[in-house]
Amino acid sequence: MLDEIAEVLRPGGIFLAADGDMFLWDENQDVIPLRAEGEPGFTWTSRLFHAMRDAMRARGPGVDESLQVYDWLQEQGPIWERIGRERMFVPLGPWKENMTEKEKYISGIMQQNFLRMVDSARPLLLSYGFFEETVDRWIANVKDEVQNMKHRYYIRWLFEWAVKPRQAN
């Protein structure tokens, strides 16, 4: 697909990919592993994230492809003048100390969007075979955790870009 994108971009055109990865990160920016309910470190939000990722993987392998875009761009070689990437951790809610007004605003929007995403995951989880009562319990508990900032989470955003040369190679 990246070959087709490079083909249709005008000289000097920019390809930009932006995606949230399907992992949940703690306040130290470490991936939060799945733990069993009642086990130390268990969170409903992590449980839901893992269930969503499993359900999405069952539909096809594409859920993890966003992690490979930068490598794919590099493998294409000289069809790109410049290639870059950035990883950005956004707090899930304004829980950090000494946040600027802009950071508070962005993390608050991240929190609101995340809560909407949780509701939208319901059909996916039900189609994967989870019981309705289970999914509803997970969603209610996740909303409580996130709205009340019971845990300090980050969502990691992935940005990759490539610039097509102004002159043909």
Instruction: Encode pLDDT of 82-104 as tens digits.
Output: 999 999 999 999 999 999 999 99
Q: What is the pLDDT of residue 6?
A: 86
Q: What is the pLDDT of residue 2?
A: 82
Q: What is the pLDDT of residue 169?
A: 56
Q: What is the pLDDT of residue 123?
A: 97
- Beta-bridge partner residues of 155: 90
Position 142, amino acid? V
Instruction: Encode pLDDT of 117-141 as tens digits.
Output: 999 999 999 999 999 999 999 999 9
In the chain, the percentage of residues whose pLDDT exceeds 90 is 85
- Domain chopping of the chain, boundaries: 2-163
Alpha helices, H only, 121-148: 122-128, 132-147
Yes or no: say if 49 and 42 are a contact pair by the CB < 8 Å rule.
Answer: no
Tell the burial category of 99 from Cβ atoms under 10 Å away from its Cβ (0-12, 13-18, 19+).
middle
